[in-house]
Amino acid sequence: MSLFRKKSIDALLAHANNSRHGLQRTLGPGSLVALGIGAIIGAGLFVRTADAAGHVAGPAVMLSFVIAAVGCLFAGLCYAEFAAMIPISGSAYAYSFVTMGELVAWIIGWALVLEYALGAATVSIAWSEYLNKLFDGAIPFAWCHSPWDPAGPNGEHGLCNVPALLILAILTGILIKGTKESALVNAIIVFVKVAIVLLFIVVGWQFVSVDNHTPFFIAADDPTTEQIRAKALGQPLPEGHRGFLEYGWGGVLRGASIVFFAFIGFDAVSTAAQEAKKPERDMPIGILGSLVACTILYVLFGHVLTGVANWQEFVTSGKEASVAFAIQAHMPGYGWLATSVTVAILAGFSSVILVMLLGQSRVFFSMAHDGLLPRVFSDLHPRFRTPYKANLLLFVLVGAFGGFVPGSVAGDLTSFGTLLAFVLVSAGILVMRRSNPGMARPFRTPFVPLVPVLGVLVCGGMLVAIDPETQLVALGWMAFGLLIYFAYSRHHSHLKHS
């Protein structure tokens, strides 16, 4: 049997329109845009902005956001055409199945586990950390850290990350109850975190100093990150050396690769295509609308943050506490806003976990429906019409990671899975335009082949730029997936018996 056997588009559409045995169509364009914003705006905005500004981009981090957004836009336009044309759960997995065949579909479906399941687990660990921070460390160390985390300041050892398991359990329950209910909860969370982001932008605007934006780019002769940190710690100053990707336009490009993480998630909208009321209209609105809305917020946020505090301050006061530091140090009388930012981060984490769990369960649902995974992953709840068994099994898998594995293990694996999906979806548009030129396309990717080719090149370039250690782990994960495919999935595939 061919490893590249393809699914029939007609069969896919028939399954998508089967209201009796399929998922319920309950999502409108507003809910889909909210899902996209819910997946995109997380702690990445609050953490990665200062990281990129302090190390490579300076105030020009605003341009880094624009470049990263353009790269995402190329892939987003390709996603929009597929989601409107083939409104089926599974996202990049389903699109690859009809364009490049079963083996490629399996590879991308397995890679999406890195984006969705591993991403949800990692964010749940960070959610636990911020919750403990909000309560000033009131949660005992043993019950908010894994057994393999480094010992605490008093030599304490972790037993289980209970808050991470708790948030995963709550959000899994909401997903089982129904997609409509999940979308409502997500919409409320999105409102809270976007309101706080806007509040920071509006309030912080009056504290923006033009001096902090001058010069706009980091100059080649500016102090290096190592020199700034050594000076802050009172240590001997090392001889500075800046590479091309650490200043000027090179720094902006490097900054784009850093803040790209803050855009991960908009593609999760496409996993809910089978639950959209009018997918041919709603999916492009959901995918592109959420991407545009977040890009505008990101640029404004970057402008205010680097205007309130000088970029050099983020070298020593960056990472998780960067926004709170800028507020407390440069916005007198607004200490309460720093606490609100922590609440926004918790809200952002919650919606990201929700959408990631939704996306992963829908990918598993599609793979099981095709026979590539056991049937249990495609069983729907008799009342709620959601893949509840997939949600429960996913909770066990993600919960095991979130409760008992350090968050640092994940590294950039989430970005690897995302970028691989972007590359294959962009390439899939080129294949579909050649193999099915006459098929109805409610939304058409403009400027083909330019847009999909640029999507492949830009996202492929960022994929290659990921650190070698992460690439090695990701390749090991993909090799393990191929073992499962050849041992089980290939022989149980429904296409084999059709």
**C-alpha distances in angstroms, 342 versus 167, 197, 227, 327, 431?**
16, 11, 30, 12, 45
Of 248, 259, 280, the residue nearest 25 (C-alpha) = 280
The pLDDT of residue 289:
87
pTM attached to this predicted model? 0.76
CA distance 361 to 389: 9
Are 119 and 264 spatial neighbours (Cβ–Cβ below 8 Å)?
yes
Over residues 151-159, the mean pLDDT reads: 79
Q: Output the 3-class SS for 293-337.
A: HHHHHHHHHHHHHHHHCCCCHHHHCCHHHHHHHHHHHHCCCCHHH
Over residues 326-336, the mean pLDDT reads: 88
The neighbouring-strand residues paired with 27 are 276
The pLDDT of residue 12:
67
User: What's the chain's length in residues?
Assistant: 498
CA distance 252 to 142: 41
Residue type, 292: V
Are 264 and 352 spatial neighbours (Cβ–Cβ below 8 Å)?
no
CATH code for position 416: 1.20.1740.10
Total number of domains in the chain: 1
The pLDDT of residue 237:
59
The pLDDT of residue 299:
93
pLDDT band at 19 (very low <50, low <70, confident <90, very high): very low
**C-alpha distances in angstroms, 484 versus 3, 177, 491?**
14, 31, 11
Q: Is the dihedral of CA 237, 241, 245, 251 positive or negative?
A: positive
Of 78, 494, 19, 38, the residue nearest 274 (C-alpha) = 19
Answer whether residue 201 shows pLDDT above 50: yes
CA distance 73 to 263: 10
Evaluate the omega torsion of the peptide bond into residue 236 and state whether it is cis, within 30 degrees of 0.
no
Segments forming the whole domain that contains residue 88 = 9-497
The pLDDT of residue 14:
67
CA distance 334 to 445: 45
In a domain, 4, yes or no: no
The neighbouring-strand residues paired with 144 are 161
pLDDT band at 253 (very low <50, low <70, confident <90, very high): confident
Residue type, 130: Y
| Per-residue tokens: 373 | 């995974």
Over residues 218-240, the mean pLDDT reads: 67
The neighbouring-strand residues paired with 161 are 144
**C-alpha distances in angstroms, 466 versus 49, 411, 417, 473?**
19, 10, 11, 12
Answer whether residue 21 shows pLDDT above 50: no
CA distance 218 to 34: 36
pLDDT band at 22 (very low <50, low <70, confident <90, very high): low
Residue type, 360: Q
Answer whether residue 485 shows pLDDT above 90: yes
CA distance 117 to 126: 15
In a domain, 3, yes or no: no
In a domain, 66, yes or no: yes
In a domain, 307, yes or no: yes
In a domain, 1, yes or no: no
In a domain, 286, yes or no: yes
| Per-residue tokens: 285 | 């609105």
| Lowest-confidence segment of 93-107, 142-156, 378-392 by average pLDDT | 142-156
Of 95, 103, 33, 112, the residue nearest 445 (C-alpha) = 95
pLDDT band at 76 (very low <50, low <70, confident <90, very high): confident
Q: Is the dihedral of CA 490, 492, 493, 496 positive or negative?
A: positive
Q: Which residue has the higher pLDDT, 296 or 287?
A: 296
Answer whether residue 380 shows pLDDT above 70: yes
Per the prediction, the chain carries an average pLDDT of 82
Answer whether residue 23 shows pLDDT above 70: no
